[in-house]
Amino acid sequence: MSGVIYRLLAIFSLVIGKICFRYRVVGAVPKSGGFIVAANHASYLDIPFLGCGLGRRAWYLGRSDLFSIPGSKAICEWLGWIPLRTGRLDRDAFGKAVSLIKAGKIVVIFPEGSRSQDGRLRVPKPGIGVIVAQTGCPVVPAYLKGTYEALPMGTMWPRFRPVTVLYGAPLTFPRSEEHGGNKQFYQEVSHAVMNRIASLGTIESPVQSSSAGIRNAE
Q: Which of the two residues, 214 and 136, has the higher pLDDT score?
A: 136
- Angle, CA 162 vertex, CA 51 and CA 18 arms, to 5°: 55
Q: What is the CATH number of domain 2-215?
A: 3.40.1130.10
- Torsion angle of the four alpha carbons 27, 155, 42, 33, in this order, in degrees rounded to the nearest 10: -50
Task: Tell me: pLDDT of 67 over 90.
Answer: no
Q: What does the pLDDT average to over 6-33?
A: 96
Which has the minimum average pLDDT: 87-91, 140-144, 153-157, 170-174?
87-91
Q: Supply the mean pLDDT for the chain.
A: 88
Can you give the pLDDT at residue 213?
Answer: 44
- Predicted TM-score (pTM) of the model is 0.88
Distances (CA, A) of 182 to 5, 109, 130, 159, 173: 39, 20, 9, 43, 14
Determine which of 1-15, 65-79, 130-144, 164-178 has the lowest per-residue pLDDT on average: 65-79
Q: Above 80 in pLDDT, residue 1?
A: no
Provide the β-strand partners of residue 139.
Answer: 36, 171
Q: In this predicted structure, what is the pLDDT of residue 189?
A: 94
Residue by residue, DSSP assigns the chain as: -HHHHHHHHHHHHHHHHHHHH--EEES---SSS-EEEEE---STTHHHHHHTTTSS-EEEEEETTS--STTHHHHHHHHTEEEE-TTS--HHHHHHHHHHHHTT-EEEE-TTSS--SSS---PPPTHHHHHHHHH---EEEEEEESHHHHS-TT-SS------EEEE-PPB-----GGGGG-HHHHHHHHHHHHHHHHHHTTS--S-----HHHHT--
Q: What is the mean pLDDT of residues 74-95?
A: 84
